Amino acid sequence: MIRGRLLKWDVELNQFDITHTHRTAIKGQALANFVVEFAKAPKIEVNMEPTKLPTWNLFVDGSSGETGSEAGVVLEILEGHKLNCAVRLGFKASNNMAEYEALMAGLRLAKELQMKRFIIISDSQLVVNQVNGRFVARDKLMAAYLKLLMNSIPKFEKFELIQVPRQENSYADALSKLVSSKDSNLLKVVLIEHLAEPSIKCIGGEEANYILKEVYEGICANHSGGLALAHKRQLSQDLTVVSSPWPFAKWGVNFIGALSSPYSPNGWKQSLWPSFSGKNIICLFGIPHSLVSDNSKQFDNRKFRELCDELRIRKHFS
């Protein structure tokens, strides 16, 4: 019941259609809602470590024989299961070429399955050491295969090639040999890829002539004018001619001190010098390119000039 001053205010406010309502006590739920609304929730730090991609094991092996060349690829899945793939080469290949083709087939399989990290296991000592940089690829075909392989490696996060004994790679080895055997019908559940040409492109004959013709005469040729083309193909510096070495090509001769001779009281007879040079220089060391001496009579006389002209030896005087 409203009493006293509150009643008076109630009468006064009714004429203005204003209703007076008493304030009730704050309920517990309202207080809880207030606390929830204005209280700051503590920050919870969640450290989410990035998921590390798995590393797969890929076994490869290639072989070449009388029945043909083939390659086997075995992908070992994390649960222990194996995914088999075989490659039948439709061209003549050596055993090392088949090993490289098996390795390239493994990379193609890894790319199709979007594998980023894997270890390739092979029993080929040559291929493994060439890829790892311990052997030098001297053969042109091996060098071409190696270059193609090294260009494909940067596409993956982790690539490791290790060599194992043949008995540890027996599954891929048996798979490669079974492709071209009489029991190849047993491989109905195995994916077989038919490779008609090598992974490296080798051209020759008419195809090579066609490419050269297109480069120099066709759409790839230089269509500049004659003067511009000549200026473009001008060498940046003069060529230096490097000749093969010519041992004892140049001789320097002279007399040291007086030489007595029974033929001449004043020195060595002039006619003896040509025979001396012929026996002691030409016969022992070959015909020289040039001889250098002073212009004394021992070296500048008719017989010696005739000898030099006959053997085309250049005579120079110091």
Q: For 3-31, what is each residue's pLDDT tens digit?
A: 566 667 766 777 777 776 766 665 666 76
Claim to verify: residue 294 and residue 169 sit in the same structural domain:
no
User: Which regions of the chain are under pLDDT 50?
Assistant: 265-267
> What integer pLDDT is reported at residue 28 of this predicted model?
65
Domain count, the chain: 2
Task: Answer whether residue 216 is part of any domain.
Answer: no
SS (H, E, C) the chain: CCCCHHHHHHHHHHCCCCCCCCCCCCCHHHHHHHHHHHCCCCCCCCCCCCCCCCCEEEEEEEEEECCEEEEEEEEECCCCCEEEEEEEECCCCCHHHHHHHHHHHHHHHHHHCCCCEEEEEECCHHHHHHHCCCCCCCCHHHHHHHHHHHHHHHHCCEEEEEECCHHHHHHHHHHHHHHCCCCHHHHCCCEEEEECCCCCCCCCCHHHHHHHHHHHCCCCCCCCCHHHHHHHCCCCCCCCCCCCCCCCCEEECCCCCCCCECCECCCCCCCHHHHHHHHHHHHHHCCCCEEEECCCCCCCCHHHHHHHHHHCCEEEEC
> What integer pLDDT is reported at residue 126 of this predicted model?
92
Task: Answer whether residue 204 is part of any domain.
Answer: no
Claim to verify: residue 163 and residue 271 sit in the same structural domain:
no
Counting Cβ atoms within 10 Å, is residue 187 exposed (0-12), middle (13-18) or buried (19+)?
A: middle
Task: Answer whether residue 244 is part of any domain.
Answer: no
Nearest C-alpha neighbor of 69 from the set 40, 51, 90:
90
Task: Answer whether residue 51 is part of any domain.
Answer: no
Query: Residue 172's domain is classified under what CATH number?
Result: 3.30.420.10
Claim to verify: residue 61 and residue 180 sit in the same structural domain:
yes
Claim to verify: residue 184 and residue 100 sit in the same structural domain:
yes
Query: Domain containing 312: what range?
Result: 250-317
189: tokens are 């559940």
Claim to verify: residue 155 and residue 256 sit in the same structural domain:
no
230: tokens are 């000549």
Pick the last residue of a domain from 195, 217, 234: 195
Pick the last residue of a domain from 173, 195, 217: 195
The single-letter code of the amino acid at 97 is: M
Nearest C-alpha neighbor of 308 from the set 285, 289, 283:
289
> What integer pLDDT is reported at residue 146 of this predicted model?
92
> What integer pLDDT is reported at residue 267 of this predicted model?
47
The single-letter code of the amino acid at 140 is: K
Task: Answer whether residue 226 is part of any domain.
Answer: no
> What integer pLDDT is reported at residue 111 of this predicted model?
87
Are 297 and 272 contacting, i.e. CB atoms less than 8 angstroms apart?
no
**Residue 121 to residue 141: CA distance in whole angstroms:** 22
pLDDT digits (tens, 9 = 90+) for 88-115: 888 888 889 999 999 999 888 888 888 8
Pick the last residue of a domain from 177, 195, 213: 195
Torsion sign across C-alpha atoms 130, 71, 152, 120: negative
The single-letter code of the amino acid at 216 is: Y
Task: Answer whether residue 264 is part of any domain.
Answer: yes
Task: Answer whether residue 225 is part of any domain.
Answer: no
Claim to verify: residue 66 and residue 169 sit in the same structural domain:
yes
Claim to verify: residue 129 and residue 256 sit in the same structural domain:
no
Task: Answer whether residue 207 is part of any domain.
Answer: no
**Residue 95 to residue 64: CA distance in whole angstroms:** 5
